[in-house]
Structure 1
Amino acid sequence: MTPPIFVSHGSPTLIFDDVPARDFLTQLGKTLPRPKAILVASAHWETIAPRITASPAPPTIHDYGGFPEVMYQQQYPAPGDPALAARIKALLDGAGISATLDPARGLDHGAWVPLKLAWPEADIPVLQLSLQTHLGPAHHLKLGEALRPLAEEGVLILGSGSLTHDLRSVSWRGPNAEPDWVKSFGDWVNTALAEGRVDDLVNYRRLAPNAARNHPSEEHFLPLFVALGAAGAGAKMERLHTSVTFSVLRMDTFAFAG
């Protein structure tokens, strides 16, 4: 089985920023077995019902504004895999989750930023699965559970979001000091994952300290549940990385062994 992974992807400029998370991601692909393909559940694609990229050559999407010109020149020309997209749709449909293929959608920065660092050759097929933020954690856990056969076949299920994501409190300059309200939430999630407390995680909004402050909206936390669900019941968490950027973005990465 290829262990599903949750990665905190940070700012689009992570590909250039001199921060520990970037250093970690540049080594990640070298430490993992080469996946057959990569399916990314990214915080930056939200739809009413699940959609799956089905282009044989998904374009690179520059879904941001106000950055230096070099950020709009970035490309990640990984191939797609329409046949695998059809299989993903069949798995979701079989689990009672109606899904649609999207032949035009490309790769947003939640996908290509971490992938460009970890697999810069862009020679592994990449697909994306959209989130349904309005349906919450339990739905995304179910999405992941439906995708588990792919992980058993060598496909890397990659949830790409952020362990914490209060952009209103970002400190773009100055000391990179982690405030207590960020640390308390991040540490709670780490402990709950280590102890296998899936129900508590699904109910994190009520149980975790400072949950709403760290995630004013949920889209950057929900990819965690896709990865967790794909690993299956009783999955063991391994924290591959932890650091903080811009004071309030916890950049933790987790792998889940079923």
Structure 2
Amino acid sequence: MNQSKSAKATSPLNHSLHHESLNTTAPISGAAAWSDAPIGLTNAAKLPALFISHGAPTLAIEQSATTSALARIGQNLPKPRAIIIMSAHWVSTQLEISSNPQPKTWHDFSGFNQQLHELQYPALGHAALAESLAQQLSTRGINTAANPLRASDHGVWSPLRHLYPNADVPVVQISLPQHYDSIACYQLGAQLARLREQQILIIGSGNITHNLQAMRWEADSIDKTAKDFKLWLLQQLKTDIPTALNWQRYPNYKDIHPSDEHLLPLFFALGAGQRVSVVHQSMAHHSLGMDIYRFD
């Protein structure tokens, strides 16, 4: 990923972009095709956007404070009609949206135990919704392609296995274009924000801190550098979004995120929701921030 891209955030943020969303005055094409329930929902039924720190692939088989928090979210939210999720593990040359109706569970890692490699998360995709999103975004000048072959990487199925263990919510994955920075991800989330009114759950899946070289698998200690960064960033999300988007001005930011793909899904979720609240905070393996944020 291009580490210099977020410097563009030095210009004043155009907050009106948050309201310039896809046309949802009528149901988005494809969204009504898979349910007879009414699309016109009240604000009380609007779902939040989420940022989930998905950690190592072992999250899928862990029982921890993080997985318990994910389970509570799934139990307490109204059941979504679909999930749109950006994972740090799908970096693409242009914006793509998975239109695979039955995406396979992709074990996009090696060196873990056999149980993890055999896990399946058989959630269906939603081709009609994906293709409609790709068409509407392209109409708005955002070059977007539907991808009918994409499998679900662990940034998708590992947290969703705890959030919706029955795999009974259709999942549409959206890629992270390699040229996108924090502002572009924020603006993309803003384009999708009003889909929350149609009971579509928007998720960014990455990590609030992510330096694999600093990880210590068996350590109980906490990396102060990583902890200080995530506390600083959370404060900016609460009080100063333009500064949050300028996160690469943080001193020695590459010690926390040597590359930016695990943080950028945060800004996708932020664009879709804006007002942040903390669902969960913790550290794992010394340096891996496992925070979960909700955006309303």
Q: TM-score with structure 2 length normalisation?
A: 0.82
Pair 1:223 & 2:265 matched: yes
Query: Deviation at 1:152?
Result: 2.0
- Where 2:277 maps in the other structure, the secondary structure is strand
- The aligned residue for residue 278 of structure 2 is 239
Deviation digits for residues 182-225 of structure 1 (CA, Å, limit 9, x no counterpart): 11101011101111x2211111001x244221100000000011
Residue of structure 2 in register with 1:201 after alignment = 244
Structure 1 position 147, deviation (Å)? 1.0
| Structure-2 residue corresponding to 1:179 | 223
Q: Could you tell me whether the CA contact under 8 Å between 1:91 and 1:147 is conserved in 2?
A: no
In structure 2, the residue corresponding to 1:135 is in which secondary structure? coil
- Aligned residues, how many? 251
The one-letter code sitting in structure 1 at the alignment partner of 2:247 is Y
- 2:159 pairs with 1:114: yes
Distance 1:36 1:211 in 2: 37
Instruction: Report if the CA contact (8 A) 1:158-1:227 is conserved.
Output: yes
Structure 1: how far apart are the matches of 2:135 and 2:209? 33
Partner of residue 188 from structure 1, selected from 220, 232, 236: 232
Please say if residues 243 and 250 of structure 1, whose CA atoms lie closer than 8 Å, have aligned partners that are also in contact: yes
Given that 1:6 and 1:159 are in contact with CA atoms closer than 8 Å, whether structure 2 keeps it comes out as yes
Deviating above 3 A after TM superposition, structure 1's stretches of 4 or more consecutive aligned residues are: none
Give the whole-Å Cα distance in 1 for the aligned partners of 2:189 and 2:178.
14
Paired letter, 2:230:
G
- C-alpha separation in 1, matches of 2:245 and 2:137: 20
Larger radius of gyration: 2
Q: What is aligned with 1:150?
A: 195
Aligned counterparts, 1:1-258, within 5 A:
1-175=46-220, 177-195=221-239, 197-206=240-249, 208-231=250-273, 235-257=274-296
- Percent identity over the alignment is 38
Structure 2 residues without counterparts, runs of 5 or longer = 1-45
**Deviation sequence 1:71-105 (CA, Å, 0-9, x none):** 11111100111110022113322332110001010
Gaps of 5+ in 1: none
Separation (CA, whole Å) in 2 of partners of 1:225 and 1:174: 30
